[in-house]
Structure 1
Amino acid sequence: MNSPINVSTLNSQIKSLLETTFIQVYVEGEVSNLTYHNSGHIYFSIKDQNSTISCVMFRGNTKYLKFRLEVGQKIVITGNITVYAPRGNYQLLCNKIEPSGQGALALAYEQLKTKLEQKGYFDPLRKKTLPKYPKKIALVTSATGAAIEDMKKVALHRWPLVEFILIPTLVQGEGSAYDISNAIKYADTLCVDIMIVGRGGGSIEDLWAFNEEIVANAIYEANTPIISAVGHEVDYLISDFVADVRAATPSNAIEIALPDINEHRMYLDSLRNEYDNLFKRILFNKEQDIINLKRLFEQNSMESKFKFIESEIKLLKSSFQSNLSQKIIHYENEIEMLVKTFKNNYSQNISKLQNNIDLLKNNYELNHPNKKDKNGFVQISKENKIISLDNLKVGDTVSLQSPKYIATCVINNLKKQ
């Protein structure tokens, strides 16, 4: 009978047997019990309808994992079996993980795209407007690639007034995503008008740095308007969705960023022609206004008025001369009639006045005080007023006056003869 072995020996033999037998396995299953540990290791299980096996992927291999594991996801693992002897547990040590039925990069792309879209990175309302006439443009790209030369060539013919600031950047390979992110952050501090981030064409692996979340975050957080210009027209990268504007190629980015100097030249020519036509039209209208004003001035000038007055005077003079003799004769006849009328009226007035004077003279002579002394003649007055005998009444007190005497009397009897 063989002697028994201890548990540690048994586990060691099992470990040696399993790890030497299952050096590399290629297994498919569904993810469950997923844990992303703070140490950077990933612990999970894969299962099918009947069985489950524990799995681990250490931090050294997780950096090559292009997508994020999710519970319920079907994956294909390349790895080996390892045994943890102190507990007698065995697990699948994962060296490489691929999504089942689709490429890892494609899945990682869709996962990150969905994540960033949910965070609002693609929202059109947050995208910045490109300035119409940029003076400085930062180019975040490789200093040795064909993209930089293409962009310079297009800019030279399109708008040579622009100034480029090249930020030499690693655009593919290990560490390129971090380099692109840092270059974007640095370019954002340079007070440029536009930033173009991109590179020329290549495989999906070559362009992958522009699908990294760290690059998307740098683009999203930048204050400078950014044009994403990666690969060819058919290539759509995460940076294209996050950037303010997507360009099909680096050359197209320059076409988008810069105005076309030839279009502006044609526009200036059209403006010049329009200005010339407008200027000529204004000059013609002003010239017509001056001509009309000159005519109006000539019609209303003092000289024209004097001429008009002179002609009127001549006309009046001729008319006056023609009518003068008739008017003189008429006036002479009127004067003669007036003279005759005046003489007649004068004679009549003189005669009338003479008659009045004669009457007054007779009355005066009749009433002269010297004639009052005749016998039988006295002046009758009442209350110091001369009164006629016809105006007296019985009882009136009157004065009888002659040149020498005044007698006061009372009328006792008054009879009319």
Structure 2
Amino acid sequence: MTGRGGVTTGPLPIGQFVQLVKQTVVRDPLFKHQALKGEVTQWKQYPSGHTYFSLRDQDGQMRAVIWKGRCTIDSSIKEGSEVVVLASVDLFVRRGEIQLNVERIEPVSVLGELEKTKRLLVEQLTKEGEIDRQRLPLPAIPKHIVIITGAGSAALSDMQRLIENRWPGLRRTVIGVLVQGAQATEQIVRGLAAARRLSDPVQAKQRGEPPVDLVIVGRGGGSPEDLWAFNLEPVARAIIASPVPVVSAVGHESDVLVSDLVADLRASTPSDAVERVVPVLPELHYFLDEYQERLGNASRRQINDNLQRLRTLHARLRVAPMAGLNRAKAKLFGLSSRIKVSTNQNMATQATRLAQLDASLTAIHPQRVLERGYSMTQTEDGSVLSSIEGIEIGQKIILNFADGSADAEIKNTHENEGEQ
């Protein structure tokens, strides 16, 4: 089998693979609580109370089971009946067979039309973007809850008891309504309208109470017809229009209604709604005490750390002047040494250059030329004669030698042969 990143992990035992398929199927919402229509075949009710059959049409079929006590089976349903079922897909691991676990089954004439109406409403709300709209955040600690449900119902009793156990004295307003029957839809919508008015901060201030910040609307379980008010458009629109979060808590966990799809939170049961939105006060106190203790410990650690840093800085500041002076002395000594070395090196270089210049000047000095046997001729006014041009016969000249000079007179001049 190929794992993540394309790495082959080896063959997977078939049992493990079937388990993986089962987990994938049962977790996918696409395969849960689907309304399916078909013809009943191979209908068989066993003494155990379980009912097995196949649901088919001209394009396919699937095995199905109704577990004992799961739902009421209409006596008119038999082999060949056209039915609508609410079912979830499951996988029987030992046989590797996929089957439907049926939660409701009704003849097409009863449930089929209702499911068609529900499906059309869901499609319309989805097209309008209401199903996927951004939900309102739930308050972390509600201050005023409105409960819209049947007056005197078991669902209301359960919610009241749970709220009082979890947060004694939490403010709540109960709006009793009919939750099934012809007038249920209108009363639920009126209840939601009353909750909207109670959520108005201005009116709440006039009443001297906190505004409503959370609404729970729901009821206990029942047949699809009993729950149908929560699948109707007026109730869905009223939930969508609520300015505060609405929790839909209708029926059992397997019941998925339009109110669940548009509410800000779907709870599987009324009791589940309370458990999800009302904190447990003693647990909150414990959490706050623990948080306070942790905050105190953290604060003390931070204070101690800061004190230690201050002590370290104080100690460093005490020795800082001497340390700075020592560093300055060391730096000055280093600079002095470098200046001395640099000066000596520069003087040696200049002395060498002077010696070289002296040698060069000595080599080209006229005295050195005279010492090599040459002489220098000058006129009586001291001008040096380097050519016979301008010399006159009888002119007085001075001949300079290395060890002295002699006076002479020009008797004659001779040009060098070959010179122009």
- Shorter-chain TM-score bucket reads 0.3 to 0.5
Alignment TM-score, normalising by the size of structure 2: 0.43
Larger radius of gyration: 1
Alignment TM-score, normalising by the size of structure 1: 0.43
